[in-house]
Every structure is written in structure tokens, then in C-alpha cells.
Amino acid sequence: MQNIIPHLWFDKEAVEAAEWYVSLFQNSSIIDITTIPDTPSGDTVLVDFQLANLRFSAISAGPYFSFNPSVSLMVSCSTKEEVDRLHDNLSANGTELMPLGDYPFSKRYAWVQDRYGLSWQIMLVENMEEHPRIRPTLLFTGDVCGKAEDAIDYYVSVFKEANKGFINYYEAGEAMDARAKINYGEANIRGTQMIVMDHGFGGDFTFNEAFSFMVLCENQEEIDYFWDKLSFVPEAEQCGWVKDQFGLSWQITPANMNDILMKGTKEEVKRVTEAFLKMKKFDLAALEKARLG
């Protein structure tokens, strides 16, 4: 079971975006769609979907957060034709961040923001079997530039099923920002493989709630543990959301929360929603009491 779920925040386009993404990748599907009525954002739509090797969750909950290149999705491709196909689709009505071309690290690569603002890095790789199809990629900029490896080490220390992978460092004088240390790093966190790097060439975008990671917890002990380890900004604590010392947002949530919201009766969903909207850290006993009425 995938325990770390990338979560995407949209204004109104979660279903539209998820269906489009699913159409672009093999072995992908919409898992479930539901509407939660009467939230502070009005009627909120939740979408669970699978893209290749990775499960995602998305929400339509108002125009409060916008995607930026601090978090992107790295896509490994086995052929140039696949790179070109994904580039043509994902860049349509979007923005080119690095144009399609030949780079020292890949013979066919592009970095684009799609029509919804979500960033994708599309790369030809030589040994496809050694690369996950899609990996979230964290780019440390601004005040946290230079802290990418610190973040990897911290996350590996927090999550028991985690390990640090390959790390590559900027050579002397290679990065324009002298604080930047690593230009490529890998981490495996509870089975979700990520790429982490410092931005050596400037950039004023930072992590925000548009792209967060859900940590699925089996019991209150896990919720308490991850809340204690990942919450560093008290004013960001709300409805299971926290923000760590690097500015990255996490959702510390019960593993069955989406099942309750997507498969429960209207009355159960209403009671659970009313209960969790009043919470910062989730209280499993109180949520179960609300579900049962």
C-alpha cells in the first residue's frame, strides 16, 4: 500500500485535470470521485486517481493556492517519441520552463508547466527498468536553498520505511547561488520515490499548499508521531495539514479518511466533515464517534 500520497489543490478543475492526466499515461485510471457539500470552500470535489506507478489525490476547493516549479513531477521515458508526445500534450496552453532538447543529463528532456500550472520534467532515460515512471521532485529555493540534503536526512530520520539514495553535488563555481549544494538527490519515503535538489540558478517560488503530501496513518499513535515531527508552523495547522521547517506541506490523515468521505452515507459524510473542520490534528476517536452519530 502506498502510504505517501501526492495531493494536488485546484480551484475547480480537479476532475478535469485528473481525467486528462489519466488519458496521457498507460496503466492509469480514476479511482473515485465524490463531492463534499457545505465546506468553507462550498461544495468540494475529491478525486483519487492512479498515474502509472503512483497514486494521487486531488481536490477542487477554491482559488487559494497556485502550483509553481518548486514541486514538479519527473517522468521517465524509454523513447524520444514518448518524450515528444508527453511534451506536446503537457505544454499545450502551458509554459516552457526548459525547452525540449539535448542536455548533458539526458538526450531528450523538457520542463513544462501545463495548462493548470502543474510542472512536469519529461526525460529520456537509458535504463527504464531502473527508474520509476513518475517521481515527485522538490526544488529548494529562496530561504531554503542549500537545505535539500538536510531535508532528505530529516525525512529519512522521521519515516522508518525510508532511505537516502544517490546524491550528486554542484562542483565549485557551478551554481550561481553559492548556497546550493546538491543538484540531484534521491529519497525513498515509505515506498514513494522522490527527487530532491537545490536550485542553483535562482528562483523566487517556494513550496505552498497547492502540492502537498498526505501521510496515511493507521492509528492515533501514528498521527501524533508525524504531527510532532512535521509541524513547525503553528498557524498552518488546520484539518490535518501541517508545514515542516522547510515550508513543505503535509496532511497527517487517517488511512481510511477518503474511503469514509467517498463511500460513507450522506449523513456519515456530513457528520465527519463537520467534526474534522473543527480540528487541527485529527482525533480518530472523535471522528469515529461523529461517523456513528
Q: Rounded to 5, what percent of the chain is helix, strand, coil?
A: 30, 40, 35
pLDDT band at 154, cuts 50/70/90? Answer: very high
pLDDT band at 260, cuts 50/70/90? Answer: confident
What are the two backbone dihedrals, phi and then psi, of residue 180, each rounded to the nearest 5 degrees?
-65, 135
Tell me the per-residue pLDDT of 176-200, one tens digit each, with 9 for 90 and over.
Answer: 999 999 999 999 999 999 999 999 9
**How high is the mean pLDDT of the chain?**
95
Cα distance between the two ends of the chain: 30
Separation of alpha carbons 281 and 251, rounded Å: 10
Three-class SS state of 230: helix
Three-class SS state of 208: coil
Q: What is the largest CA-CA distance in the chain?
A: 63
Tell me the per-residue pLDDT of 117-144, one tens digit each, with 9 for 90 and over.
Answer: 999 999 999 988 889 999 999 999 999 9
| Three cell numbers, residue 50 | 492512479
pLDDT at residue number 130: 85
User: For the chain, what percent of residues have pLDDT higher than 90?
Assistant: 85
CA 117, chain centre distance (Å): 14
Beta strands in 157-279 (DSSP E): 162-169, 182-189, 192-198, 211-217, 241-243, 249-254
Q: What are the C-alpha distances in Å from 131 to residues 122, 123, 258?
A: 13, 11, 29
